[in-house]
Amino acid sequence: MGLFYYFHYHPDYVSGKNIEHYSLIPHPFDFAKTGYFSDVLYHSRNTNARFYIITFGYEEAWPQKYCPPRVVDRYHLHFVFEGEGLFNGQPVHAGQIFIAPANQSYDILHSATHPMKMGWIGISGRESEEIIGALHLPQTPVIDMNPERIDQIRNIFLDVVYAPHPDVDLPFYLFGRAFHVLSLSGASSSREENPATSNYTQQALNYINVHYMDDISISDIAKAAHITESYLRALFTKELGVSPREMILQKRVSAAKELLRQEEIPIATIAESCSYADRSAFAKRFKKITGLTPAEYRRKATNK
């Protein structure tokens, strides 16, 4: 049994929109009904700010808890302290960070035997994308944490979320705590690029790794790598032996395979997660690559 802050909407008179808000009145949360408990320290929005920390949260889930595709208007950095699961179909485990960009769909599936315990930081602001880019975080959705600092990072989350902070300026406090977490995690340290690929190809792969579940085009990838579409195709053929489109399909099929092993997720939902609005189109493409329909693959993978 955990504590969860009441969630409701209230009008933001600056933007004229309703925005989410967590009250400071905790209540017992029904773990068995919802599949997790989650405690959140929420700081009200500042619509004029260039960059600010909007939430610190801590969550523990039950086995096979599935958080269906959602889109939020902020960056979410998730720090996994225990367990394992899937983020947009990509495996994640204890000691890793996975990053959900703002305004893009993502889903989370917890392991059937080792559900995740994790903290998260929500980051927003008018220039959040540019500022996050300046932090030199690796342009991949999953990053390894410094293994020697995991317990220390977890303790920061527990302190922020659960300890009272009556005498602090909350925006500056959360800002400092967030960057302390990042400095300990090693997330912004340089990582060795694949020596077999050019910098342009690596930038394109980074973009695909983050956006492969979205409806991206070759033009989108080329723009992210700052090259023309024809040069992008030539680089992929020369260095990777596949086209950019084929690389996207490989990533999506790999994600679909992982999701199909989880029997509680409908195939239609998996198809939508892989950017297929039409289940039949998804099944046709999946069979062309694997030789099996999604239903056949699920039966074979689960021995049923």
Q: What would the two tokens of residue 259 be?
A: 């999701």
**How far apart are alpha carbons 291 and 285 in whole angstroms?**
10
Q: At what angle do helices 279-290 and 244-260 cross, to 10 degrees?
A: 100
* pLDDT value for 197: 55
* pLDDT value for 154: 94
**How far apart are alpha carbons 113 and 267 in whole angstroms?**
22
* pLDDT value for 41: 72
Query: Are the C-beta atoms of residues 119 and 56 closer than 8 Å to each other?
Result: yes
> 199-301 — its CATH code?
1.10.10.60
- CA distances (Å), 9 to each of 22, 39, 47, in order? 9, 18, 16
Run of H or E including 4: strand 2-12
pLDDT tens, residue by residue, 139-181: 567 888 888 889 999 999 988 888 887 777 877 888 888 888 9
**How far apart are alpha carbons 203 and 232 in whole angstroms?**
11
What secondary structure letter does DSSP report for 125?
-
* pLDDT value for 38: 64
* pLDDT value for 30: 35
**Nearest to 2, CA basis, from 60, 63, 50:** 60
Query: Are the C-beta atoms of residues 198 and 235 closer than 8 Å to each other?
Result: yes
Domain residue extents for the chain: 2-185, 199-301
Query: Are the C-beta atoms of residues 94 and 84 closer than 8 Å to each other?
Result: yes
* pLDDT value for 13: 38
Which stretches in the chain have pLDDT values below 50?
Answer: 1-36, 189-195
CATH class of 2-185: mainly beta
* pLDDT value for 139: 57
* pLDDT value for 253: 85
Q: What would the two tokens of residue 241 be?
A: 């032996």
